[in-house]
């Protein structure tokens, strides 16, 4: 079956629609009022719940906000494992330091609490799973491919397909950026492969019915023996109701360039500042650096050294106000050198901005030819030179940017909404139940309307 045919969403529930599948969805992180993975977990569940008869299992920390969002208590099972988490996370936070960072360390210290979370789940719901109340069990979060699941084997032994994902993570640090890795306190990257020795790791792959992978890097980490279980569906998506504004009109000088993210070296704001500095000084471009983080002071010093005004730094902007500010820019400069998902790239594209990203990790798979620019990975000096050359070219001739921004928004609204993702996941469910062949949506997702 072709990629285009495979990506056709399932019909909406109603007259003539197939019976809704019964699915137990596990999202230990799922919170409508938070950001990052918890928001992803909630948004993905919410979209799935429209097209399946779903039941959500989540952590007690999310309960208040989920109920406030209008979710029915009848569709929820709330688990409380804080007694185990507190001492474990305390050690992890100490090793990460006050400035945050240390994502690998945080992930490693989350494994033990998650073991207890799944054991609590089986205690509460194991009997109902064994009885066949749900046709499929799907673990949405954690997203990391390093955290095993004891439930995969338990479900398989009782004839219930177990689905994981989208899994994402594990993008290696590129060569030449050890300074950024050390600034992030990423000491465990030296022994990261040790996660394959965790109890239950091999069994998780062996007994899972489907492994949804959110990036090409994550798919490559799956052993060849299990790749026949892999289906590529990118991790991130957007809620169209949150992105009602759109950048409009022809692009005129000065070229307005925005960056949004944690101010840390691996996100690349220093490279963007250095690349754009001559254009900003000459009045041909404007920078809007939105965010805060451990490198804020050094970035301000870098900008001052390039004789750039201090008002290029907006600081932290409330999520509800972000789209208004972002939609006033033309280009989204995001030269992150180690990004797993890149949700902020999709958000900028949804507003009609033209993204500039690196061909490394998640963002390079979100941006397609004709919707943005993907720069090759290389040493820092090479990235700065390529970024500066591209910005200079856009300043000389910005005429294509309006159409590119419109195509970027169309790409997101067609292929990267949570409802579109839920439709893709439903096809995975149908596959593991033997109702169709394995779906292939393309890797990365294609743009049929763009040559």
Q: Which pLDDT does position 88 carry in this prediction?
A: 66
Q: Which residues contact 31 (CB under 8 A, 6 or more apart)?
A: 38, 39, 41, 42, 61, 62, 65, 66
Angle at 340 between CA 193 and CA 81, to 5 degrees: 70
pLDDT for 8 beyond 70: no
Angle at 396 between CA 393 and CA 400, to 5 degrees: 75
Q: Which pLDDT does position 97 carry in this prediction?
A: 59
Q: Which pLDDT does position 10 carry in this prediction?
A: 47
Average pLDDT over residues 253-258: 98
Residue 308 pLDDT level (bands cut at 50, 70, 90): very high
Residue 136's DSSP bridge partners are: 23
CATH class of 3-237+417-432: alpha beta
- As separate numbers, helices (DSSP H) first and strands (DSSP E) second, the chain gives 17, 13
Domain ranges of the chain: 3-237+417-432, 240-413
Task: State both tokens at 195.
Answer: 């996660």
Q: Which pLDDT does position 7 carry in this prediction?
A: 44
Segment (H or E) for 255: strand 255-260
Task: State both tokens at 204.
Answer: 């998780």
**CA Rg value for the chain:** 22
- From the CB of residue 81, how many other CB atoms can be counted at a distance below 10 Å? 20
pLDDT for 13 beyond 60: no
pLDDT tens-digit profile of 180-238? 877 777 765 655 666 677 888 899 999 999 999 999 999 999 999 999 999 999 999 99
pLDDT for 81 beyond 70: yes
Task: State both tokens at 62.
Answer: 């999310």
User: Does the reported pTM lie above 0.85?
Assistant: yes
pLDDT tens-digit profile of 126-151? 999 999 999 999 999 999 998 999 99
CATH class of 240-413: alpha beta
Residues making up the chain, counted from first to last? 451
Residue 179 pLDDT level (bands cut at 50, 70, 90): confident
Q: If you ran DSSP here, which 8-state letter would residue 253 be given?
A: S
pLDDT for 323 beyond 70: yes
């Amino acid at each position: 079956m072709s990629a285009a045919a495979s990506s056709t969403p399932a019909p909406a529930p109603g007259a003539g629609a197939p019976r809704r599948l019964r699915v137990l969805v596990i999202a230990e992180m799922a919170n409508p009022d938070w950001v990052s993975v918890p928001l992803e977990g909630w948004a993905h569940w919410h979209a799935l719940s429209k097209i399946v008869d779903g039941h959500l299992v989540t952590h007690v920390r999310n309960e208040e906000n989920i109920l406030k969002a209008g979710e029915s208590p009848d569709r929820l099972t709330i688990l409380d494992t804080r007694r185990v988490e507190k001492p474990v996370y305390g050690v992890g936070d100490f090793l990460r330091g006050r400035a945050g960072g240390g994502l690998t360390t945080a992930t490693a210290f989350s494994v033990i609490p998650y073991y207890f979370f799944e054991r609590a789940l089986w205690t509460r719901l194991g009997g109902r799973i064994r009885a066949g109340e749900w046709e499929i069990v799907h673990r949405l979060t954690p997203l990391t491919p390093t955290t095993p699941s004891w439930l995969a084997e338990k479900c398989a032994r009782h004839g219930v397909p177990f689905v994981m994902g989208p899994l994402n993570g594990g993008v290696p640090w590129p060569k030449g950026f050890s300074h950024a890795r050390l600034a992030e306190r990423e000491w465990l990257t030296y022994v990261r492969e040790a996660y394959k020795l965790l109890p239950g790791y091999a069994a998780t792959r062996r007994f899972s019915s489907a492994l949804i992978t959110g990036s090409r890097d994550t798919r490559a980490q799956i052993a060849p023996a299990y790749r026949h279980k892999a289906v590529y569906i990118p991790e991130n998506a957007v809620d169209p109701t949150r992105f009602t504004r759109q950048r409009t009109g022809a692009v005129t000088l000065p070229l307005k360039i925005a960056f949004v993210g944690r101010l840390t070296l691996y996100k690349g704001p220093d490279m963007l500042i250095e690349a754009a500095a001559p254009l900003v000084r000459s009045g041909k471009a404007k920078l809007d650096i939105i965010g805060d983080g451990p490198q804020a002071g050094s970035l301000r010093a870098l900008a001052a050294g390039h004789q750039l005004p201090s008002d290029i730094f907006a600081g932290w902007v409330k999520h509800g106000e972000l789209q208004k500010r972002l939609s006033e820019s033309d280009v989204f400069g995001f030269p992150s050198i180690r990004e797993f998902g890149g949700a902020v790239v999709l958000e900028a594209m949804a507003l009609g901005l033209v993204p500039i990203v690196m061909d490394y990790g998640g963002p390079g798979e979100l941006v397609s030819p004709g919707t943005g620019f993907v720069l090759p990975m290389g040493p820092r000096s090479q990235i700065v030179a390529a970024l500066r050359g591209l910005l200079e070219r856009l300043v000389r001739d910005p005429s294509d940017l309006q159409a590119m921004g419109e195509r970027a928004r169309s790409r997101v609204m067609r292929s990267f909404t949570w409802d579109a993702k839920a439709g893709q996941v439903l096809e995975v469910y149908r596959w593991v139940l033997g109702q169709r062949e394995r779906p292939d949506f393309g890797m990365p997702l294609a743009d049929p309307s763009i040559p």
